[in-house]
Amino acid sequence: MGARVIACASAPEKLAVAEAHGAHALIDYAKDNFREELRRLAPDGVDVVYDPLGGDYAEPALRSLAWKGRHLVIGFAAGEIPRIPLNLALVKGIDILGVHWGVFVEREPEAHRGNQAQLLDWVGQGRLTAKVDSIHRIEDFVAALGILQRREAVGKVLLRL
């Protein structure tokens, strides 16, 4: 959709899925120096960071932003909520934006419906796809949650109602 995507993951199979879905460059942050690889791949900085991990990866990602970049805080799968040095926002002119889907749906239902319509349109056109890791019966939600907690999922973990 026009973006140059640098996908970051902790396992080769996860990176392979990202590449199959269009990622232009890959970083295995379990073995590579995350910050150095971002600097090598985007010497002028990245425009947007989509950060579902937090933890020790948030600050190097934030430092890798270009002037007027945007850091999207999605979650804290790494377990720790990072302490961000706010001087980075000042000297880089960056935005740090919390993205909480549930609250957005509640507070802006019309905007959510519009976004959903756009996403479904892109899916219908074949411009947007999702990788499904596994599908579980609703009764097996504890096992499905375990896959997410152990960070074993390579794609979406779904529950069938």
Per-residue pLDDT tens for 44-74?
999 999 999 899 999 999 999 999 999 999 9
CATH for the 6-98 domain, from 1.10.10.60, 2.70.98.10, 3.30.70.1450, 3.40.50.720: 3.40.50.720
For the chain, report the end-to-end CA distance as a whole number of angstroms. Answer: 33
- pLDDT at residue number 125: 95
CB-CB contact of 54 with 77 (8 Å): yes
Question: What pLDDT was estimated at residue 79?
Answer: 81
List the domain boundaries for the chain. Answer: 6-98, 130-161
- The C-alpha angle with vertex 151 and arms to 145 and 156, in degrees rounded to 5, equals 65
- Is the Cα dihedral 13, 80, 5, 128 positive or negative? positive
1 pLDDT more than 80:
no
Q: Are strands 6-9 and 25-28 parallel, antiparallel or unpaired?
A: parallel
73-125 residue pLDDT tens: 999 988 889 999 999 999 999 999 999 999 999 999 999 999 999 999 999 99
Q: What is the pLDDT of residue 93?
A: 97
Tokens 């097996």 -> residue = 140
Total residue length of the chain: 161
For residue 2, pLDDT beyond 90: no
